[in-house]
Amino acid sequence: MIQPTHSSRRILLPARTWFIYLSLLVAALLNLIPLGRLPGVPDWVALVLAFWCIHQPLKVGMAAAFCFGLAMDVAHAAVMGQHAFAYVLLAFFAAGWSRRVLWFPLAQQALHVLPMLLGTQLVMLLIRLATGAEFPGLSYFLSSFTATLLWYPASYLLLLPQYQPVERDETRPI
């Protein structure tokens, strides 16, 4: 079984734009599942957005982050712009660190993604606190750690379509 890590010798197919935005749409729908205030539920949009900004920084960037952030603001009836601002910062740092992060194996990639996800949550929390909300407790930050643990399976699932061969040629070594 082929593992989607940096040490794979297979050449990945280019990511299709429709698949990237479909995965972001599915992540947004996963964010809309009503789970109440259950601690540890990851921000799926932030996780998938960070993944695509790291792996495809030319196809997914701050504009997509802003649009999905506004959609999450409207869907959660949150302070307008809190998700958008946090996701734009996430996209900026993920795209900026993409070349560095991709050199590491998936476990170390997850450790690079953790501060980005924590920073995203911190920005949203600071905006909420500035508008008069109460501090939700330290369990609020548990979702970043859950998303970090999901980095490996998310990477495998999101890279899976790129591992399919276009044509099978038994004479080629790759």
Domain residue limits, the chain: 43-159
**How buried is residue 21: exposed, middle or buried, by Cβ count under 10 Å (0-12/13-18/19+)?**
middle
pLDDT of residue 2: 45
Output 78 or 24, whichever has higher pLDDT. Answer: 24
In this predicted structure, the answer to whether residue 162 has a pLDDT above a threshold of 50 is yes
Tell me how far the alpha carbon of residue 133 is from its chain's centroid: 26
User: For residue range 18-73, what is the model confidence (pLDDT) as tens digits?
Assistant: 999 999 999 999 999 887 778 889 999 999 999 999 999 999 999 999 999 999 99
In this prediction the pTM is 0.85
In this predicted structure, the answer to whether residue 7 has a pLDDT above a threshold of 70 is no
Both tokens of residue 4? 């989607």
DSSP 63-115: HHHHHHHHHHHHHHT--TTHHHHHHHHHHHHHHHTHHHHTTS-HHHHHHHHHH
Both tokens of residue 18? 């429709």
Output 138 or 25, whichever has higher pLDDT. Answer: 25
The amino acid at residue 33 is I
Q: How many other CB atoms are found less than 10 A from the CB of residue 130? A: 10
Inter-CA distances, 50 with 10, 16, 103, 169, 170, Å: 23, 17, 16, 34, 36
Both tokens of residue 112? 């690079």
Average pLDDT across the chain, whole number: 87
The angle formed by the CA atoms of residues 33, 39 and 40, to the nearest 5 degrees, is 85
Q: How many other CB atoms are found less than 10 A from the CB of residue 50? A: 30
pLDDT of residue 79: 85
**Pairs from 37-40 (Cβ < 8 Å, separation ≥ 24):** 37/136, 39/139, 39/140, 39/142, 39/143, 40/139, 40/142, 40/143, 40/145, 40/146
Output 4 or 107, whichever has higher pLDDT. Answer: 107
